[in-house]
């Protein structure tokens, strides 16, 4: 698969890397924490048949850089908006996995007119939305990076990224009710996010459809790509929704 590789300099000097595949209505893919756009390896070929697919490396991850000492989902939503403006895209479909789903929710709340349809895979609005053992592991991981950051530059670079996982995303349940974009919430039955938290998100979003995939966990898009891709493409269709 050949792609167009591009960098955009953000307002703070960070370099944002993304790749573009195919043609059609734009679809942005947002990966999870401490990962990069290659997470969607099993989606690109399928999705580019119907959409112009933008695969982003979030700031500080993959080929993107980060100059900020602290990272927030609001900042990363602004990064997505900057890329859309640079590409002259006024409205797009957004698919986010894990932290990418959190960015998508913040983006849809902040820039509602720019979201056509949204797919959320394993997002959480609060740290307590994680299963308890993952909360413990996340704090231990952050503490380890905090210690290592005094000695290693790489750990200093990674610490703000891991820090995203120990903070709520900044959206209340009331904020979720203001997100009107049609949304597919899809998770594996054995995801790292508590099912009751996922259902809270589904119930607060006004136009949400919920799909629970049996026998799958957090990396559903990789472990069961065929079913994941089919559900996503069926939900997205291929056209822009005409809004009043």
Q: Which distant-in-sequence residues (6+ apart) come within 8 Å of 151 by Cβ?
A: none
Give the separation between CA 107 and CA 114, rounded to whole angstroms.
9
Tell me the pLDDT tens digit for each residue of 160-181.
999 999 999 999 999 999 999 9
Q: Is the pLDDT of residue 66 over 90?
A: yes
* Mean pLDDT for all residues in the chain: 95
Q: Is the pLDDT of residue 89 over 90?
A: yes
Beta strands in 98-218 (DSSP E): 115-121, 183-188, 208-213
Tell me the pLDDT tens digit for each residue of 194-231.
999 999 999 999 999 999 999 999 999 999 999 999 99
Give the separation between CA 228 and CA 119, rounded to whole angstroms.
11
Instruction: Give the pLDDT of residue 240.
Output: 62
Asked if 134 and 126 count as a contact pair (C-beta separation under 8 A), the reply is: no
Question: What percentage of the chain exceeds 70 in pLDDT?
Answer: 97
Instruction: Give the pLDDT of residue 242.
Output: 56
Mean pLDDT lowest among 12-16, 49-53, 69-73, 154-158: 154-158
Mean pLDDT of 4-31: 97
pLDDT band at 241 (very low <50, low <70, confident <90, very high): low
220-244 burial code (b ≥16 CB/10 A, e <16): bbeebbebbbebbbebbeeeeeeee
Asked if 53 and 21 count as a contact pair (C-beta separation under 8 A), the reply is: yes
From residue 93, alpha-carbon distances to 57, 149, 168, 215, 241 in Å are 17, 37, 24, 27, 10
Helical pair 99-110 and 73-86, crossing angle rounded to 10 deg: 70
Instruction: Give the pLDDT of residue 1.
Output: 72
Give the separation between CA 59 and CA 80, rounded to whole angstroms.
10
**What end-to-end distance do the CA atoms of the chain give, in Å?**
37
Asked if 202 and 211 count as a contact pair (C-beta separation under 8 A), the reply is: no
Pairing of strands 51-57, 25-30: parallel
Residue 201's SS3 state is helix
Q: Copy the structure tokens of residue 214.
A: 């049996």
Instruction: Give the pLDDT of residue 2.
Output: 81
pTM of the entire structure? Answer: 0.95
């Amino acid at each position: 698969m050949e792609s167009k590789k591009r960098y955009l300099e953000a307002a703070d000097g960070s370099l944002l890397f993304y790749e573009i595949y195919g043609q059609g209505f734009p679809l942005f893919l947002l990966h999870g924490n401490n990962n990069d756009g290659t997470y969607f390896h099993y989606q690109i070929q399928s999705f580019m048949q119907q959409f112009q697919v933008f695969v982003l490396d979030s700031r500080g991850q993959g080929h993107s850089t980060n100059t900020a000492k602290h990272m927030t989902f609001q900042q990363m939503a602004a990064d997505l908006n900057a890329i859309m403006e640079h590409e002259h895209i006024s409205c797009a479909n957004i698919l986010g996995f894990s932290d990418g789903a959190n960015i998508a929710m913040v983006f849809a709340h902040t820039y509602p007119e720019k979201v056509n349809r949204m797919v959320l895979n394993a997002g959480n609005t609060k740290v307590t939305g994680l299963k308890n053992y993952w909360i413990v592991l996340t704090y231990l991981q952050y503490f380890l990076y905090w210690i290592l950051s005094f000695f290693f530059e790489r750990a200093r670079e990674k610490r703000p990224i891991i820090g995203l996982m120990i903070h709520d995303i900044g959206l209340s349940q009331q904020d979720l009710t203001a997100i009107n974009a049609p949304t597919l919430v899809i998770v594996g039955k054995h995801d790292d996010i508590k099912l009751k938290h996922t259902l809270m998100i589904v119930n607060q979003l006004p136009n949400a459809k919920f799909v629970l995939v049996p026998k799958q966990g957090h990396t559903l898009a990789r472990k069961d790509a065929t079913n994941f891709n089919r559900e996503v493409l069926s939900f997205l269709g291929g056209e822009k929704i005409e809004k009043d």
